[in-house]
Structure 1
Amino acid sequence: MPTETFFNLPKEKQRRILDAAKKEFSRTSLKEASIANVIKDAEIPRGSFYQYFKDKEDLYYYYFQTVQQDSHRYLVSSIQQANGDLFQGFEEYFKRIVPEIFIGDHALFYKNVFTNMDYHGFRRVAPHLEKNAESCHDKKMERKKHQKVLIDAIDCSNLKVSDNHELHLLLQLLMHTVFTTIADGYRRILIDGSYDIEQINQNFESKISWLKNGARKEKTE
């Protein structure tokens, strides 16, 4: 997260830094991104950058949070609108976010996020699903608040989970399915040169169906 120094900057300067972050992280992956390009486009000294952020990873994940600030609310509201049905809620959530991810203003950034994500990246972009994630006190309290809101929205009466630990495992599995389906969609773009949102949604629905109902056929007599 940014330092207090960053949040004390004029809004215009904060926006200039985030615009520079968008440009650089839409150009390439976090690993290949250059702080030099960010500070040049933001028109700030290198020393000032390190007064605002610990490193480029710190800026990267903060920028991700700014473009995904409504994601948690979308997931909770989708589950609530499905009357607590976790699987139906995730299907609706996926349909809701996919157009923005593939054709929205941040599509190039999302492409770099999802085609280069590892387990560390998953923990950073979905901290509310990590039950034992380490964080400072304020972040930990905020994460617990998000977890509670999400869990309270779920009707567990039709789920084979015995406690919150197993529910967190299921949530992680579902969110991994969201991320891998999006990543597969972007990889398909690299191969075919185009995307098919309808096919991406169908792929996700198939995966959810297998998770919900099982992929094994019942033997007939």
Structure 2
Amino acid sequence: MPTQTFYNLPEEKRQKLLDAIHEEFSRVPFDDVSINQIIRLAGIPRGSFYQYFEDKQDLLQYLMADYRKVFKQHALASLERTGGNLFQMLLDIFDFTHAFVTEEKNNAFFKNLFSDIRVNIDFLHQQADGNTYDDFSAELLPHIDMDSLDIRSKDDFGNMLGILLPLTGEAFARAFFDVSSYEHVRAQYSARLDLLKRGLLKVKEAGT
């Protein structure tokens, strides 16, 4: 993660460096990212870069943690809007994520990142600050309507996410790498979520 020296930079200088990093990650896949190119674009000495970041893996981790915050904010907004509806949150995240990463300013960046399977695994399983998606789900947990779910043991919710999140990731990947398939993939994803609801939601008793 960035050093405190990075966070102490004046806002304009810090943003110029971030813009240079984003531009370089948008230009080439992760393995080909050049720190020399970043410092040239940012107009800083090479030594200064290493006062801010350890290496390009450190850069990647910072970027992933930053995007993770964006997704979490959207997930929380969805849960607040829907009264804690887990299934609608997942569909909202799918829609938001697709729109976000296919924006012109973000598209090349994410295509370069996700073209590298190691980067993909980093993003899905381990964030820069040491948080896993178990931690991410724990942050969302207080905002989810747990009473609507058929929870019978302490492990049930984690196992539910173990089913739902890979399904979401698969749908996202299919829609992202073939933009023309978005509507078809979304319809199929929504239908699969509806099927899972039948097994994961509590069955309401007659008259309730």
Give the counterpart letter for 2:173 in structure 1. A
1:9 aligns with 2:9: yes
Question: Partner of 2:194 in structure 1?
Answer: 209
Could you say which residue in structure 2 is the equivalent of 1:79? 79
Counterparts of 1:1-221 in structure 2, within 5 Å, are: 1-116=1-116, 117-125=119-127, 127=131, 129-131=133-135, 147-148=138-139, 150-163=140-153, 165-188=155-178, 195-213=180-198
2:205 aligns to what?
A: none
Runs (4+) of structure 1 exceeding 6 A deviation are none
Within 2, Cα distance between the matches of 1:195 and 1:61? Answer: 30
Q: 1:55 to 1:211 in 2, by over 3 A?
A: farther
Identical aligned pairs, as a percentage?
Answer: 30
TM-score (norm 2): 0.78
How many residue pairs are counted as aligned between the two chains?
195
Deviations 1:93-112 (A, max 9, x none): 32233212213521211222
Distance 1:68 1:129, change over 3 A: closer
Paired residues of 1:186 and 1:195 also in contact (CA < 8 A): no
Shift of 1:56: 0.6
- Change beyond 3 A, Cα 1:119–1:166: farther
Which stretches in structure 2 are left out of the alignment for 5+ residues? 200-208
**Secondary structure in 1 aligned to 2:174?**
helix
Matched-pair contact (CA < 8 Å) for 1:115–1:187: no
Structure 1's unaligned 5+ residue stretches are 132-142, 189-193, 215-221
SS of equivalent to 1:157: helix
Q: Compute the displacement of 1:156 (Å).
A: 1.9
Report the aligned-residue RMSD: 2.7
What is the identity, as a one-letter code, of the residue corresponding to 1:31? D
